[in-house]
Every structure is written in C-alpha cells, then in structure tokens.
C-alpha cells in the first residue's frame, strides 16, 4: 500500500469510529516496547470499546490490511522499517478491568498489567495468582504467549477467554476448547483477547502468599538484568536451558552495536542505550550460530518479531 492508501484507510476508519478512540498514522513503536528498538506502525489504533475494535478489524479485514496487536511490548522486537499493518493497542483504561466474581474468580481486561492484577488480587484477599507478579506484561500478551514464570503458566489460571476474531466477531472460548502449549496459544493467532475469566490455582494463607511473592521477586532480581530487554530471547529446548547453553558457548557480553548478550543472564539481549532493531537481529543470528556450533542445539526464538516471520530473517 502507498502512503496515500494508508492515509485513506486511516481517514475512512477515523470517520466511523467514536471520538474516544484514537487512531494515528506512522506511530513510533520502539518506545512502546521494553527493549526500545524499531520503527513505526503505518496505522495505530487505541480503541475505546469493543464496538470500535470490531469495526476497525472488519474494515482492515475487508481492505486486506494486516492486523497486529501490541500488549505491553515486553516480548517483542519491532524491525527498524516498522510494520505495514494496523497495530491495535489495548493499553487504555477501558481494557484494564478487574472484577470479582464468585468462588475467587476474577474477570480481567486484556490491558490490565499482570503486576496490577497480582496487587488487586492480593488486596481483595485472593490467592493463586502470585506467580504472575514477575511477568512484565499485560493479560492479553500473557494469554497470547502463555507466559510463564516460577513454574506456573498463564493458562493454569484461565477458565474462559473473550476474543474478537480478526473478522470482527466476539466469541467466548472455554479453556477446555483452547490449544495451549509452552509459550503458545493457537486460538490467539487469529483473534485478539479482550478479557478473561480467571480462577486461582489453589487457596493458601496470605502470609505464605506474600512470602512467595518476595521469594520470586528476589530470585528474579538476582538472576535477570535491569537494562531494557525483551525478556528471554529463546525458548528453552526440552530438558535444557537456553540461558545456560548461551552462557557455556562463551557469549555473555557479546555485542553488536549497543545490543549486548546480558552478562547477568545469557538468554537476555539488553539495549545498552542506542541499539537498533538491526543490531538486535544480528546478535540473535550470531548467538544462534555460535550455540549451534558449540552445542549442536538449534535455539528457537521465543520473542515475537513484529510483522515478520523469524524464519525469514534468521
């Protein structure tokens, strides 16, 4: 699509959406990600409600425009050239709901940060969500990736997910009908999660919960870097640790421009200040090649590459 086509697409949408929905052309995405690299979205949408989201998705579908969702940007690398797509962000207040339901269940919006979810749950006396505290993302992103930490998975606490399909239809998907694996949820490749009904893993006493949160936090602070990063870059191969394999291949501190394999945890690439998307991708290629050589293991990226397929850049 030419610039003129994108203007037209954005203009048509703008005229039909409610005034509270924000839509912008060529919105920079790097600062909306935790690793802070990459270019712009041709069209960027912050829908104020489900109806506007449905409408925008239908228009994009009809115009054959690719649709990408941006959560908290914590597991994502945006290429320097940006993305030829409609990028949908559910980061607004309207999507950060937290509503108590019966039997310790909660209804949460896709834009709610996991950290806030844990805080709100603890305040309401609910237990069973503590393991999510350390994942730097939103509910929507964590569902899409089946994010995990400290031995727990997002889908361990999911009962039902409400989605809007890329064709613009609202659906409720019970957990039992969803296909979920390590860092993957099949149904959310073709639909955007807008909310979920969660149930706690188990009931335990509050003191134990707070102690557990502290243990998790301390472990993470000791073992993971503080500089901007996209979280773990590679999936752990079955029965092995990507971090250990990269470390043992002598790659800690390896650099391309300002992108660096973290000396704290080798499965993190950190941005030392002015890294570009190209620096990060080059370092990913280098790490992969070196681990293949030294260890005979082919590492697969866990982070998403926005608007592209990893196999086309590796």
Closer residue to ligand EPU, CB minimum distance, 21 or 69: 69
Catalytic residue (one of 42, 183, 288, 290): 183
Whole-Å CA distances, 118 to 106, 123, 219: 11, 9, 17
Instruction: State in angstroms the smallest separation of the CB of 231 from ligand EPU.
Output: 3
Query: Among residues 267 and 271, whose Cβ is nearest to ligand EPU?
Result: 267
Distance CA 107, CA 98 (A): 6
DSSP 164-203: EETTS-EEEEEGGG--EETTEEGGGGSEEEEEEEE--S--
Nearer to ligand EPU, 21 or 262 (CB): 262
CB of 182 to ligand EPU, least distance (A): 7
Alpha helix (H) ranges present in the chain?
A: 3-16, 50-62, 114-123, 139-145, 206-223, 242-248, 277-295, 310-313
Of 36, 232, 260, 290, the catalytic one is 232
Structure tokens at 39: 């270019």
Active site residue 293: no
Report d(CA 282, CA 287) in Å as an integer.
9
What's the min distance (Å) between Cβ of 133 and ligand EPU? 11
Buried b (16+ CB within 10 A) or exposed e, 51-90: ebbbbbbebbeeeebebbbbbbbbbbbbbeebbebbbbbb
Nearest approach in angstroms of CB 160 to ligand EPU is: 24
Q: Which of 291, 275, 260 is nearest to 78 (CA)?
A: 275
Closest distance to ligand EPU from the beta carbon of 197 (Å)? 24
Q: Can 159 be counted among the known catalytic residues? A: no
Contact residues for ligand EPU (CB under 6 A)? Answer: 149-150, 223, 231-232, 235-236, 241-244, 247, 265-267, 302
Q: Is 302 one of the annotated active-site residues of the chain?
A: yes
Which residue lies nearer to ligand EPU by CB, 105 or 255? 255
CB-wise, 4 or 222, nearer to ligand EPU? 222
Residues with catalytic function: 183, 232, 302
């Amino acid at each position: 699509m030419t610039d003129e086509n994108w203007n037209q697409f954005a203009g048509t949408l703008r005229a039909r959406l409610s005034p509270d929905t924000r839509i912008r052309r060529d919105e920079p995405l790097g600062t909306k990600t935790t690793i802070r690299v990459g270019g712009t979205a041709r069209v960027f949408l912050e829908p104020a409600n489900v109806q506007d989201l449905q409408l925008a998705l239908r228009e994009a579908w009809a115009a054959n425009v690719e649709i990408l969702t941006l959560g908290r940007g914590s597991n994502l690398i945006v290429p320097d050239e940006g993305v030829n797509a409609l990028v949908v962000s559910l980061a607004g207040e309207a999507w950060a709901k937290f509503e108590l339901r019966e039997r310790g269940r909660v209804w949460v919006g896709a834009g709610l940060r996991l950290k806030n979810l844990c805080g709100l749950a603890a305040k309401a006396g609910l237990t069973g969500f503590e393991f999510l505290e350390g994942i730097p993302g939103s509910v929507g992103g964590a569902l899409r990736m089946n994010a995990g930490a400290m031995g727990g998975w997002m889908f361990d606490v999911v009962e039902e997910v409400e989605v809007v399909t890329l064709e613009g239809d609202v659906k409720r998907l019970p957990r039992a009908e969803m296909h979920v694996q390590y860092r993957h949820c099949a149904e959310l490749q073709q639909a955007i999660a807008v909310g979920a009904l969660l149930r706690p893993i188990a009931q335990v006493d509050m003191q134990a919960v707070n102690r557990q949160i502290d243990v998790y936090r301390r472990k993470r602070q000791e073992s993971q870097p503080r500089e901007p990063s996209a979280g773990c870059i590679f999936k752990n191969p079955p029965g092995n640790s990507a971090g250990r394999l990269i470390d043992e291949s002598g790659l800690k501190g390896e650099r391309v421009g300002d992108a660096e394999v973290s000396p704290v945890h080798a499965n993190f690439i950190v941005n030392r200040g002015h890294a570009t998307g190209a620096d990060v991708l080059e370092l990913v290629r280098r790490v992969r090649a070196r681990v293949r050589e030294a260890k005979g293991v082919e590492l697969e990226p866990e982070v998403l590459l926005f608007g592209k397929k990893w196999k086309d850049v590796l």
